Each structure stands twice: as structure tokens, then as C-alpha cells.
Amino acid sequence: MNPRHDPRLKAFASDNYAGVHPEILQAIVSANGGHQTAYGDDVYTEAMQEVFQRHFGEQARAWPVFNGTAANVVSLRSMTAQWEAVICAESAHINTDEGGAPEVAGGIKLLTVPTPDGKLTPELIDRQAWGFGDVHRAQPKVVSISNTTELGTVYTAEEIAAICAHAHDLGLLVHLDGSRLTNAAAALDVPMRALTTDAGVDALSFGGTKIGLMYGEAVVVLNPDAATGVEYLRKTFMQLSSKMRFVSAQFEALLAGDLWLRNARRANEMARRLAEAVGRVPGVRVARTVEANAVFAVLPEDVAARLRKRFRFYDWTDGEVRWMCAFDTTEEDVDAFAAALAEEMADTRR
């Protein structure tokens, strides 16, 4: 059967646009055939646990879910009581891009903080870490950070450790939205546990689809005392997969070797190449330092509108656009995009 789209065409809108990595597809095929116990009591999910523990420590426990919104909501719900709240950056994905799911589905109050670069600090956390014991205020309980952030910035291990130490001193827990944790670790050239377990993070949402999986994210509890009832909440929130072996097999293929790192490095490298290429086009300004696989730029609106007809990408805020690179972005893709941008800018100048 022929595909309904041209597989040669790439977009720069999101790393979610990318297909499935061939090694992941092969893992799914290898897991097929015969019967395995449903709902996670299978050999692939058992092996997946061992792989996650290799990256995050023996105390780690992973629960696969279908998507990132669910990973965040289930994680945060397991870490909070009904009267408790989550402190996050105003730009955080849980606040801006999940359709109110934390509030509507999870019943979780979000206490947001404006940030210049998408990153929280101990000082910024203190803006919402107050009112303890006040029955009129939702009680702060969790600090949620994203790495990478929605603005493409990367927390270092030292920055996360400082946040965790401060939060824990206040009696708060720390959750990390790791939909692009692989990109952050690759950018800093550190193990993923350096940005999570070793830094003091209590639980994280681990992303798979942006880095090559067909579908699947995971709730990963690093501190067993910080999150309770995940096994029940996953079912309550309709995230318990009956044929879980096909999700788990993907994670094993991604994490057992260096596939996660190869994919993340490729996406990051292509973003740097893209920033350098478009930065040489007169009239285009790269608005933020490229730290992982996102490029933010400012260009004339009419140019953006015409260019978007050739390559999909999204508008961001304050006149910026966002261009994302994925694990399958090639040098030729980047060069073609930069050439198209240069053509559109030249047409405007004429």
C-alpha cells in the first residue's frame, strides 16, 4: 500500500511530526506473535523496568501510559492530595498546552510563576511557596519543572539540584516533565540520572514519542515515598494498555543501548545547524540561544506565512516562530529550509 503523503517532505513544527525509528518498529515486530499476559504482566514490561532502573537507579519504577499529558497528570495526581497544588513556570506545558487537563481531569491547582527563560529558580519558587497552613489557600506541595523547557532552554544538573534542595527544605516534592529529557541530557553530555535521580527529583514524566517511539510515555517514580497509587491512577485515567508489551518493547529498544542518545544528538545537532544557516539570512534574527533541538526566530509575518506553505512550523509568542528538529531531520532538510527562507526574504526585499 502506497503512503498517503510524500515521505520525503519534512516539517519543522514539532518533533512529534516525525515517524517511528526503524529500530523501534523492529522491536514492535519482534514483540508480535504468540500470546503474552495483558495489562503489563508480560516479559517485555519486566525487561523495560530493568532498563529504566539502569538509567535512573534501582529504586525507579516506570508505568507506561499513552501520552505526555497523561504522564504529567498521573504523576502530579499521585504526588498531591486534593487540597494541594503544583508550582510551575507560567510557560510550562502543563499550564499552556494540555487543554486544562491537570485542572479538569486531575483536579490539580496550578500556581504559576512568570519566568524570563522558562526556568524556575529557588527565588522564583518562593513567589508561590507560601500560605502553608492557611485553609483559604491551596497548599503548595509539588514543584514541576520541564527539561528541556517550552522555550528550548536546558536546566543543568546543578540548577535542578538547587531547586530540589530548596523545595525539599520547604517540604515540597519535585516533578520533572521530561518529554525532551533525552535532548537535555545529550546537550549537556551527562547521564539522564544526573538530571533526575542524582539531583533529587522525586518523579518524572519520560517522553518517548518525540524521540522515536510510535506511541508511549512513562510515569517514572524515583522516590517511592513521593508518589502513591500510580498503579490505580493509571487505570482511573484510562491509561492502562491491555497490549502493553508493544509499548514496553519500544522503551526497551530506545533505552537498552544508545538509540536515545543517537536520536537526541541528531536532533540537537540539526537545530544548531539550522540556527547557523538561518542566522546568515539578512532580516532574520535567531531570538534565543539554541540549547537543544528548538530554534526560535523573528522574521517578517508575510515571509513566515509564505514559508509555512512550504514547511509547517508554529508561531510562538511576541512575534517569534519556533522551528523544531527531530531525530530524522537531515542536513539536506535543514539546508532546503534555509534556502527556502532565503528565497522568501529576497522576494520581500524586492
Task: Give bridge partners of residue 219 from the DSSP assignment.
Answer: 63, 205
Name, in order, each residue with C-beta under 8 angstroms of 350's C-beta and a sequence gap of 6 or more. none
Strand boundaries in the chain, DSSP class E:
61-65, 84-89, 109-113, 139-146, 173-178, 203-206, 217-221, 285-286, 294-298, 314-315, 320-324
What does the alpha-carbon distance between residue 185 and residue 207 come to, in Å, rounded to a whole number? 13
DSSP assignment of 111-127 equals EEE--SSS---HHHHTT
Report pLDDT for 234.
97
The C-alpha atoms of residue 193 and residue 173 are separated, in whole angstroms, by: 17
Compute the distance between CA of residue 278 and CA of residue 86 in angstroms, rounded to an integer.
38
Separation of alpha carbons 245 and 243, rounded Å: 5
State residue 7's pLDDT score: 86
Q: Quick one: pLDDT at residue 348?
A: 67
Q: How many Cα neighbours within 13 Å face the side chain of 232?
A: 5
Q: Which residue has the cell 497552613?
A: 133
Which pLDDT belongs to residue 1?
Answer: 79
Could you give the CA distance from residue 276 to residue 271 in angstroms, rounded to a whole number?
9
Distance (Å, rounded) from C-alpha 297 to C-alpha 315?
Answer: 10
Q: How far apart are CA 31 and CA 101, in angstroms?
A: 32
3-state secondary structure of 275: helix
Q: How far apart are CA 106 and CA 275, in angstroms?
A: 38
Alpha carbon distance 28, 330 (integer Å)? 25
Residues 75, 69 contacting (CB under 8 angstroms): no
pLDDT of amino acid 347:
73
Per this entry, what is the length of the chain? 350
Strand partners, 175: 144, 203
pLDDT of the chain, 350 residues: tens digit per residue: 788 988 888 999 999 999 999 999 999 999 999 999 999 999 999 999 999 999 999 999 999 999 999 999 999 999 999 999 999 999 999 999 999 999 999 999 999 999 999 999 999 999 999 999 999 999 999 999 999 999 999 999 999 999 999 999 999 999 999 999 999 999 999 999 999 999 999 999 999 999 999 999 999 999 999 999 999 999 999 999 999 999 999 999 999 999 999 999 999 999 999 999 999 999 999 999 999 999 999 999 999 999 999 999 999 988 899 999 999 999 999 999 999 999 999 876 65
